[in-house]
Structure 1
Amino acid sequence: MICGNKRQNFILLSLFCLLFNCKPKNKDIYNLSFERTIKDSAIGWHFANRRMLSLDSEVVKSGHYSMRISLMEDTPSGGLVFQPLAGRIKGDSITLSGYIKTENVREGFAGLWMAETPNIAFNNMYSQGLKGTTDWTKYKITLPLDSNKMKGIAFGGILLGKGKMWIDNLKITVDGKDISEIEIIENLPADNDMQFDIGSPIKTIKTDTNTINRLYQMGLIWGFLKYYHPSIASGKYNWDGELFRILPRVLEASLAEKDAILYNYIDTLGQLNDVNSPTISKDTSIIKTDLDWIVHSNFSEKLQKQLLSIKNSNRVPSFNYYVKESETNNALFTNERAYDYMAYPDAGFRLLALYRYWNMVQYFFPYKDIIGQDWKMVLKKYVTKFINAKNELEYKLLLVELSGEIHDSHGFVNDHTSTLYNYEGARYLPINLEFIEGKPVVFDFSNQNLAEKDGWKKGDIITEINGQSVSAIIKKWRPYTPASNPWTLLRDIATKIVRTNDSILVVKIIRNNNSLTKSVNSYPNIGIPKEDKTNISNKSYKWITNEIGYVNHGKLRKDELPTLFEQFKNAKGIVIDFRNHILDDLMYELPRYLLPYPQPFLKHLVPRYDAPGSFYFTEPYQTGVGQYNLYKGKIALIINEKTQSSAEYHTMAYRTYPKSFVIGSNSAGADGNVSEIVFPSGVKTRFSGLGIFYPNGAPTQRIGIVPDVIVKPTVKGVAAGQDEVLEKAINILNK
């Protein structure tokens, strides 16, 4: 468990970063019992608050020395001793064990500690809380290993508060084997560069026109080099750190010096591969890389030629330190440091957040051509915004706003702290809202008992909350609700309307055409149990009439398909309800009960990793092999704005069945495997990493799946407890 003292954690991290630039240790110099010494220090060990730590030759578990940490009334409240090991360790888990003795530990605790970087796992025995006076006792802590992501470990002893502790006879094992028997794979140079991991040298930035233009150009060049220059792709440079090395020089340079500084800096990065030797002989890209800015940014001729040479150099797409192609072809952004201890990053890191996200979209988002604006102008607009963000909340709201610029409902933001959660509201009304006929309507209860206690009824239309009109609430949340289109925007704003930090709200509603004003209660999230409200059925399938079967695809599992189609084999029709989230991927399995031969149902638009920013179409994907007894009746596929991503993918696959029809309203328009992005501060977002198109090239993003039969709920129907879309589907199936 992580210690609650953030200051001590930050000191620990700071020292770890500064001392982590070391080679993997040889097996004979770990010095885990502190017996190898020089000038009263244990070889290989480092200290925080050095004057409070020392070797002790009188109090030992065995051998000649132990390590002692002493914190008295006139000393700082924290001390630690540690050893960093840079490199990747293969295995499932790593264990640190050792003996601890304490004397009058108070106002804190003593323990062993171990960290796996970057920000993967951490344990300092906080939950055990060694206090008081104890004799030598053996303790151990274990962390899971992530061999693909880790860059190293650090370990040692820690004392927070006052008192004394001794540690001795440490041992490290990996899956039960001593660390001396384990190969530590050396890091790349980029892994070991941690100079700026505790902060950049850029604390304030001017916002005059000249500075903003330079920062805009730096964002373009920095991202281009990140994904195009072979030295950066090889992991030779920590590209975050390089930004903080070159940016101050660019900002301080005169207009005449700026381009020369950039040229000379880029020249030091290393040799290019063969220039004008394309990786593939024929460019089949549907979308071409947007690099016209190289010749339209008033750069010097020399700098332009240099950048164009990098563009035209041969790139080997098999390895790039910062991005790799997933098994499904979308981009996986690797080795991006989260800096999640920076709740409110300094100005340099705030710029890094913008540059990182903007360039990931620039080179790997397949729908950049339909966001409705020149993406480069978004970069320019947000430079000033990120510089001016005054606190943690403003910074994190800006991350949400930026994520919304691409109009992708996959782009929601996750904050590992409570900052954004509390801003949206930590309390909830016990109701679920949907925008029906353009109005926020109570269509269900998240907690029926609480909702009925507060007098809510299905069909209630909310018009005002605490004196604020619904239109004003929508206006407030629009910039902070990433959405593919207007209907998903309202879908997600509806979830925000029911959140608050007030315990009692005054709401105005319309019920049966009558206006009412009432006081209602809100409840903490933990007070509202998760109730299963997926449409009409808590089961995955059932008879809804004597001749019509109903399938709740949000609960359907692969192993249920044989019994489902056996039960419904003579059904006149089957309703498959996609107004939910998919549980199992069945886009290839279920059509085996429908189609006698394979049918193409979509194709992907995927990134080219040898020419970032370019995209090409795959061959169409097919579904259905006709290996089972085929169902011969009709199928209704119900969709609405809640039908998103995998549910849209499944709808496209099932729609190939000739006797199917899609009914409801347009789906979310956010399909395709997602690529995740982490910002400085640990906030995460995503975007649709694959373009999803029909075999004929017709798009789905932002448009959604368009129904064959459009049917939408009405306020009257909700108040009466009707599912009008389902009723219409049954009516059509019965014809």
Structure 2
Amino acid sequence: MHLIGSIIHPLFFCSVPTRYTTWLLGCGILLSGSWVKAQSTTLASINLDLETQDKARHLPAGWAPGIHSPGAPTPGYQVQTDSVVHQQGRYSVRLQSSYDAGTNSFGAAHWAIPARYQGKSITLSGYLKTEAVQNGFAGLWMRLDGPNGTLGFDNMQKANLQGTHDWQLYSITLPLAPEAKTIYLGGLLVGTGSAWLDNLSLTIDGKPLTQARPKATTVYKADADTAFQKSSGIAFSKLSAQQVENLAVLGQVWGFVKYYHPAVARGDYNWDKELFRIMPAVLASQNQADRSRVLSTWLTGLGPVTSPVAATVSPSKIRVQPTLAWLTDGKQLSKELQQQLLYLRAHPAAATAHYYVGPAEAGNLAFLHEDAYAQMAYPDAGYRLLGLFRYWNIIEYFFPYKYAIGEDWQPVLSEFIPQFANAPDALHYRLAALRLIARVHDTHANLWGADKVLTDYRGNYTVPVSIQFVQQQAVVAKLRPTTQAAPTVLQPGDIITTVDGEIVADWVKARQPIFPASNQPTQLRNMAGMLLRGNTPTVRLGIIRNGKASTLDVNRVSLSSLTPPTQTAATDSSHRFLRPDVGYLTLGQISTKSLPRIMSEFSQTKGLVIDIRNYPAEFVVFTLSQYLVPRPTPFVKFSIPVPSQPGLFTWTNALHVRPGKGQAYPGKVVILVNEETQSQAEYTTMALRTAPRATVLGSTTAGADGNVSRFALPGNLSTMISGIGIYYPDGRETQRVGIVPDVEMHPTVQGLQAGRDELLEKALELIDQG
């Protein structure tokens, strides 16, 4: 899973379709925990039958409308109690669009409760009634948040509940992650029409909450440290070269101790606050000796290190070693400080429990207790430096592809200290963070979420077209539907040469440092969605159409007026016959339960085109590949972090796809990929290309594979990284490289002008060649 303003790209193993707007973000944007506080609730007070009313607010007691802040309705929607239409009792909640509801808009009602329960799964059930729902859907929604963002989300989008329907019972289920902190639930209406919600229930492993086991809680000393809530106390007008050096050494030592020291791992210290306590003395140090003395005394004060010697790992299992040569750098560290750090290196914190790092489901790590400091829209200098140190050290110790970023990571810390320290406002702080993130070259890494500062910077208006970079030129690929009546004067195939007088190539070059991506095609993909955005209702564009240059004043529309792409439909549009002997399957609309029927229909064809120029609607790596492979076949292996030795990554055994019960599909398989093929889509391609007669056709994919690990930065900034390494069984890379096609092909300007799918045409040609 990538969000830039209101446009996202997908996460690995997280069903977020490509380029969906914020109301469709099932992985951490919609109904963000940064603004919703979990009410202090008892089981008896959870008002799921909606019968206890807050008459002053025209809502069930404890419920709130909208998502922008508690009690603030979404513009264009009424969210309130209905005493006339109800499934049981006397009341329901009605969500109704008004005349000014945009297609990208939604209305929601929510309740939030602490996740105090043990179990494997949690299910929300409830009754829904709809009337004339169009341009969207209605649904129940539920979301689980952990210390660093969303752990699970479902909004019934795939059910595609549209039109008019009487009361019907629905349910959604999520895995109940042990690290979950808050449960958010409610009803949702996307688009226009009306929806009613009533008679809800919440169960854990099929049992009501009254029978759910309470979750054991651990009390940490770090949680009791409430200092520096409003300010770090760090301020300076200008940093000297000595102070930059001091801060760089502090950042490295602080991060190393954070992940290696047993006292920090136990949660005895809030390491953010300890940074602010030690930073003034480090800043005041006049030389290496002064600085080392301050840091050595600080480490001694943490108490003795009694951890056992680190376990030995077989060299054959190691993919990446920690880069800790700086621990013996005599120019930066005194002998005494070196000895302390080396001893800590040899006796790291135990892997069983760490206050700041925990296991995630796929072998990657969950970053814990990383406070977003959401109350600080523009954090002060100390908190901004905390953001830099936090990010730099997470990359240093837990990014599986640090070796592939193309430069030495250590000097990057010193380079960015002035940028973070001197950022004059909230926007420049965010731009500094984007420049830092971009240096990692991971398409999973970005600033995610509907951040108002960045949205205003990028523009609240855009031209309703999709832009695609073809042969290094910005080309109109297609028109986008909008609720605003005026059609655009642009046409598919138009080449955009200038935007308000700025040459497109110059626009790209100037902004590349703030567009994180694994490779250039993916960076251009992301930039294409921003090229025509702005805060004025019109934009002057230089274009080339049919070989002739001209200048046009083009109307923009509000972002909220754009009709989002949908990966669900009233009928199954995931497959069709391109001709009687060739089947076509697009994973952007695939349903696992329909695969047996689809593959039965295609069983006698001579060729099958599988289109993965999208994000799979469902995880079909094994369920689809079983129809294509005749024998167990390895397709991937992973590198995973070793929590007890931060910076160390080890190999796993290869994972296999396996045949099903019937005969493997005998025909030619052509898999279509491009820069939209990202993360789970790339992983799926790796599996499907093991079919004996498979050919991958297209261009460089996004080059970002591996389950993601999320964390926050001060100022309520949300980011993440690829958390595990993904490799072919023989060790070949996928990060940055992407899935290398067997046959490389790109669309052309002429093809876009004619509305042709040139890759699909080539796929048919390859099938005919046998």
Task: Tell me, yes or no, whether TM beats 0.5.
Answer: yes
Corresponding residue for 2:304? 271
Aligned partners of 2:389, 2:736: CA distance in 1, in Å? 25
Which among 236, 246, 249 is matched to residue 268 of structure 2? 236
Alpha-carbon distance, 1:525 to partner: 1.3
For 2:645 and 2:709, locate their aligned partners in 1 and report how far apart those are by CA, in whole Å.
Answer: 18
3-state SS in 1 of match to 2:669: strand
Shift of 1:675: 1.1
Asked if 2 retains the 8 angstrom alpha-carbon contact of 1:507 and 1:519, the reply is yes
Question: What is the CA deviation profile of residues 459-478 of structure 1, one whole-angstrom value per residue up to 9, with x for unaligned ones?
Answer: 00000111111012112321
Task: Tell me the secondary structure at the aligned position of residue 588 of structure 2.
Answer: coil
Partner residue in 2 for 1:55: none
Instruction: Confirm or deny that 1:481 pairs with 2:450.
Output: no
In the alignment, which of 444, 448, 451 is matched to residue 478 of structure 2? 444
Bigger relative CO (Cα 8 Å, ≥ 6 apart) = 2
Shift of 1:368: 0.3
* Map of 1:731 onto structure 2: 765
| Cα distance in structure 1, aligned partners of 2:624 and 2:521 | 29
- Distance of 1:328 and 1:215 partners within structure 2: 35
May I ask how many residue pairs the two structures share in their alignment?
Answer: 605
**Partner secondary structure for residue 317 of structure 1:** coil
Report the AA paired with residue 263 of structure 1: S
Aligned residue for 2:643, secondary structure, equals coil
TM-fit CA distance, 1:393: 0.6
| Letter matched to residue 320 of structure 2 | I
**Which amino acid in the other structure matches residue 717 of structure 1?**
G
- Unpaired runs of 5+ in structure 1? 1-83, 129-140, 154-174
1:568 aligns with 2:616: no
Q: 3-state DSSP class of the match of 1:496?
A: coil
Alignment root-mean-square deviation, CA: 3.6
CA drift of 1:124 comes to 8.0
Report the alpha carbon displacement of residue 152 of structure 1 after superposing the two structures with TM.
10
Aligned partner (choices 738, 750, 753) of residue 716 of structure 1? 750
Q: Verify: 1:547 aligned to 2:516, yes or no.
A: no
Report the CA distance between 1:432 and its aligned residue: 0.2
Contact 1:93 1:142 in 2 (8 A): no
The question of 1:144 aligning with 2:144 is answered no
Structure-to-structure mapping, 1:381-396, within 5 angstroms: 381-396=415-430
State the 1:293 CA deviation: 0.6
How far apart are the structure 1 equivalents of 2:335 and 2:707?
A: 41
Counterpart in the other structure of 2:321: 288
Displacement after TM superposition at 1:114 (Å): 12
CA distance in 2, matches of 1:192, 1:598: 53
- The aligned amino acid for 2:302 is L
Instruction: Report whether the alignment pairs 1:631 with 2:665.
Output: yes
Partner of 2:236: 204
Match of 2:166 in 1: none
Q: Over residues 162-215 of structure 1, what are the superposed CA-to-partner deviations in whole Å (9 max), with x where a residue is unaligned?
A: xxxxxxxxxxxxx998xxx98994521111212122221112264111000000
Give the aligned partner of residue 680 of structure 1: 714
Contact 1:431 / 1:451 at 8 angstroms: preserved in 2? Answer: no
Contact 2:262-2:307 at 8 Å conserved across structures: no
8 A contact 1:410–1:670 mirrored in 2: yes
Matches within 5 A, 1:44-83: none
Are 1:113 and 1:125, in contact at CA under 8 Å, matched by a contact in 2?
A: no
Q: CA deviation at 1:113?
A: 10
Q: 1:388 to 1:257 in 2, by over 3 A?
A: same
CA distance in 1, matches of 2:517, 2:293: 42
Q: Is 2:436 aligned against 1:402?
A: yes
Q: Which residue of 2 aligns with 1:414?
A: 448
Name the counterpart of 1:585.
619
Alignment of 1:696 onto 2:665: no
2:139 is aligned to: none
Q: Which amino acid aligns with 2:297?
A: N
The 3-state SS of whatever aligns with 2:659 is coil
Q: Secondary structure at the match of 2:609?
A: strand
Q: 8 Å contact 1:640–1:667 — kept in the other structure? A: yes
SS of residue matched to 1:734: helix
Give the partner amino acid of 1:212.
Answer: V
Using the TM superposition, give the Cα deviation of residue 262 of structure 1 relative to its aligned residue in structure 2, in angstroms.
1.3
CA contact (8 A) 2:305 2:347 kept: yes
**Alpha-carbon distance change, 692 to 184 in structure 1, aligned in 2, over 3 angstroms:** closer
How big is each residue's C-alpha offset from its partner over 1:241-289, in whole Å with a ceiling of 9 and x where there is no partner? 11011111222244343222211211121221345x2224645322111
Letter in 2 for 1:143: A
Checking the alignment, whether the CA contact within 8 Å between 1:435 and 1:491 is kept in structure 2 is: yes
Per-residue CA deviations over 1:324-381 (Å, capped at 9, x if unaligned) read 1212111210111110110000110000000000000000001100111110111110
SS at match of 1:593: coil
Q: 1:222 and 2:254 equivalent?
A: yes
Shift of 1:291: 0.9
Deviation for aligned residue 1:314: 4.7
Distance change >3 Å, CA 445–CA 452, structure 1 → 2 = farther
Which letter does structure 2 place at the counterpart of 1:248? P
| Match in the other structure for 2:163 | none
> Structure 2 vs 1, CA of residues 731 and 188 (structure 1 numbering), >3 Å: closer, same or farther?
same
Q: Matches of 1:613 and 1:485 in 2, distance apart? A: 24
Identity within the alignment, %: 36
Preserved contact between residue 672 and residue 690 of structure 1 (Cα < 8 Å): yes
- How far the C-alpha of 1:94 sits from its partner, in A, is 6.5
Among residues 688, 698, 704, which one is paired with 1:664 in the alignment? Answer: 698
Q: Provide the residue aligned with 1:706 in structure 2.
A: 740
Query: Would you say 1:601 and 2:570 are equivalent positions?
Result: no
**Which residue type is aligned with residue 290 of structure 2?**
E
Find the counterpart in structure 1 of residue 545 from structure 2: 511
Instruction: Name the SS of the counterpart of 1:596 in structure 2.
Output: coil
Give 1:193's match in structure 2, choosing from 225, 233, 238: 225
User: Alpha carbons of 1:678 and 1:182: their partners in 2 closer, same or farther (altered >3 Å)?
Assistant: closer
Q: Which of 643, 646, 664 lines up with 2:677 in the alignment?
A: 643
- Is the partner of 1:554 in helix, strand or coil? helix
Asked if 2 retains the 8 angstrom alpha-carbon contact of 1:273 and 1:315, the reply is no
SS in 2 for 1:336: coil
Residue 213 of structure 1 corresponds to 245
Partner Cα distance (2:285, 2:645) in 1: 32
**Matching residue's letter, 1:193:** D
- Deviation per residue, 1:387-433 (Å, 9 max, x gap): 11000110011111111110111112124531101111111101000
Give 1:613's match in structure 2, choosing from 637, 647, 652: 647
Q: Please say if 1:302 is aligned against 2:336.
A: yes
Q: 1:494 and 2:494 equivalent?
A: no
Give CA deviations for 1:607-629 in whole Å, capped at 9, x if unaligned.
11111101111111111233234
Structure 2 contact 542–550 (Cα < 8 Å) conserved: yes
Change (3 A) 1:508 1:646: same
Question: How far 1:690 sits from its partner (Å)?
Answer: 1.1
Secondary structure, in 3 states, of the residue corresponding to 1:357?
helix
Instruction: Sort the Cα spacing of 1:360 and 1:699 in 2 relative to 1 into closer, same or farther, 3 A.
Output: same
Are the counterparts in 2 of residues 485 and 702 from structure 1 also a CA contact under 8 Å? yes
Matched, 1:343 2:377: yes
